[in-house]
Each structure stands twice: as structure tokens, then as C-alpha cells.
Amino acid sequence: MSPIGPIDSSTTPRYAGFSTFARLPRLDQVPHADIAVVGVPFDTGVSYRPGARFGPAHVREASRLLRPYNPGLDIAPFDVAQVADAGDIAVNPFDIGQAIDTVQATALDLTSDGTRLVTIGGDHTIALPLLRTAAERHGPVALVHFDAHLDTWDTYFGAAYTHGTPFRRAVEENILDTEALSHVGIRGPLYGKKDLEDDRRFGFGIHTSADVFRQGVDEIIDRLRTRIGDRPLYVSVDIDVLDPAHAPGTGTPEAGGLTSRELLEILRGFAGLNVVGGDVVEVAPAYDHAELTCVAASQIAYDLVSLMAARSPEEA
């Protein structure tokens, strides 16, 4: 059976109809999804500006502009894979622990028949339960983490589970392949040099935003691909990896970030890798001048879907 694709924009204008991701069918409208796009409207784990709980709806709205052929990866992802919108995971906005448990349980349910997930946040706290799910399905996973910040801190105000701690917890839980961990786009002030020392101890390699600028996109891609190999790969994108000029709508902006073009070209450099899951997080619509942030985030999610669609579930 041919996949059920998005609404035809030649018969229904892009600004009309239901606001699913890329105007794709809902999960309950297809017999099976190879890839599901799911939202997690949760931002209780933020340490500065809130608002990312409204990110999934904002990104979906921008995704109306997406078209079915992706020339950057030479693929029509909705023709070769059944992609559907799974809606939002309804999480407790007052209890971080319970929210994490809900995301994990729902993600496990959604992936029980081989479906792979692209998740729209929400704050970066949600990466931990999504990584737990990926590891349950594939074993410890390689990780490429695009972010201005390390997100390997221990606690905030005594809280162990926040948007600044998910990857430290993931290393402690042995759900990451510590031979294949990379940050990309790191920049800005830190609490101290120990932050970097801890990060190296966990196994992360760091490619700063300055490295991307000075070494170039192709060199960064080569280094990442060498580190990843054919391991199952999870890609986590905090939208604040982009410079505020490209993504003002986020909770903890930092000057000197990547351009949208640099980020998308690095992602497209992952063509052929075994991408088993990914997320785009920290889109906060209240700060998003002229919808710059949601346009970038929707394209990032589309490229993640395209990377997954290019590799069959049997290869994943």
C-alpha cells in the first residue's frame, strides 16, 4: 500500500485545513506509521524564560509551508515512508518526574511496532525519556547534540531533572554509547572550567560554534561521521544552537551561534547514517519575531524525518 501523504496544496491552500505537521495525516488515520511526529508541550524544566510548552503548535503552524520533495537530501520522504502526526503527549505541568514518566511510557507505546519518532518540544528535559526509549529499542545510542549549552550539569537548585541535566543523567543510566557522543554549537559563558572537565569525562566531544565557523561545515561533518560510524544515532536539536538572529524565540539565547544554513547542512551531512530518533526543542513562540524560529524548527524536523525515511526500518 502506498503511503498516505499530506494534503495537496494545489487543492487546499496551505493556510487552510487541520494543522498537523506538514499537513500529514493523523496517526489514527493510517494503519501504521514508519515515522511519527509527536509534540511534548512541556516547559516546567526551564531555568530562565518559559514558553516552550507552546512550541509544538507553533512549529506545526510553520510546517504548513513544507513541500513533499526535499532537494537538500534528494528524497520525497512522504512517498517512501508512512509519516503521520501523533498529536501531543499530555504531560503533568506541575510534576517533572511524572512528566518524564509519561513521555517515556507514551514513546515506548508509539514505538512498539517499529515506528521511529521525531519529537517537537517542549524544553530539553524531554530528551531523557526519549533517549531511554531509543536505548530500549536499539541499545545504547550514539548522540549528536546541537545546543548552545552542554546540558550535562548535575543539578539546579537541588533538582536533578531539568533542561540542563538530561545528558548527564543519560550517561549515568548507561543509555548512551560513550564512544560516540558529540556536542555541536556550544558557546557562551560557563559556571566554571569544571563544566568542560566533567563533560569530557562523560565522553563528549565538543565542536563549538567557533569551530564550525573556522573549520567549516564539511570538516565538522567528517569528524561527526567518523565518530558515529553505523551506530544507532539519536539527534537532539535545541533551537538555541542557532544565533538569536536566526532563532530569537527561545528561553536561553546566546550570542554567536550557528546560522540556519550551517545547521541544516550539517544535518544533511548525516545522510545514510542510522538515525533512529530525534527531537527539536526549546522553541518559545512569545519571543519569536516574524516566526523566524518556528520556520527554522519546522525545516529541522522535516530534515530529521527525511534522514529517517531514507533508511528503511529493517536497516535501523
Name every residue whose Cβ is closer than 8 Å to that of residue 187 and which is 6 or more positions away in sequence: 148, 208, 209, 210, 254, 255, 256, 257
pLDDT tens, 128-166? 999 999 999 999 999 999 999 999 999 999 999 999 999
Residue 67 sits at the vertex; the CA angle it makes with 261 and 232, to the nearest 5 degrees, is 65
pLDDT at 315: 62
Query: Band of the pLDDT at 311, cuts 50, 70, 90?
Result: confident
- Mean pLDDT for 233-254 is 98
**pTM of structure:** 0.97
pLDDT at 2: 84
pLDDT tens, 249-273? 999 999 999 999 999 999 999 999 9
Q: What percent of the chain clears pLDDT 90, i.e. is strictly above it?
A: 95
List of domains in the chain: 21-309 (3.40.800.10)
Max CA pair span of the chain: 57
Query: Band of the pLDDT at 230, cuts 50, 70, 90?
Result: very high
208 backbone dihedrals φ, ψ, rounded to 5°:
-75, 170
pLDDT at 260: 98
Query: Band of the pLDDT at 18, cuts 50, 70, 90?
Result: confident
Question: What is the rounded average pLDDT for all residues in the chain?
Answer: 96
pLDDT tens, 184-195? 999 999 999 999
pLDDT at 147: 98
Name every residue whose Cβ is closer than 8 Å to that of residue 274 and which is 6 or more positions away in sequence: 230, 231, 232, 233, 311, 315, 316
Residue identified by cell 570538516 is: 219
Query: Band of the pLDDT at 17, cuts 50, 70, 90?
Result: confident
- Per-residue b/e over 134-148, b at no fewer than 16 CB within 10 Å? bbebbebbbbbbbbb
Q: Distance (Å, rounded) from C-alpha 155 to C-alpha 168?
A: 10
Residue 237 sits at the vertex; the CA angle it makes with 205 and 133, to the nearest 5 degrees, is 90
On the question of pLDDT at 60 being above 80, the answer is: yes
pLDDT at 10: 85
Q: What percent of the chain clears pLDDT 70, i.e. is strictly above it?
A: 98
Q: Distance (Å, rounded) from C-alpha 199 to C-alpha 273?
A: 25
Q: Distance (Å, rounded) from C-alpha 251 to C-alpha 70?
A: 30
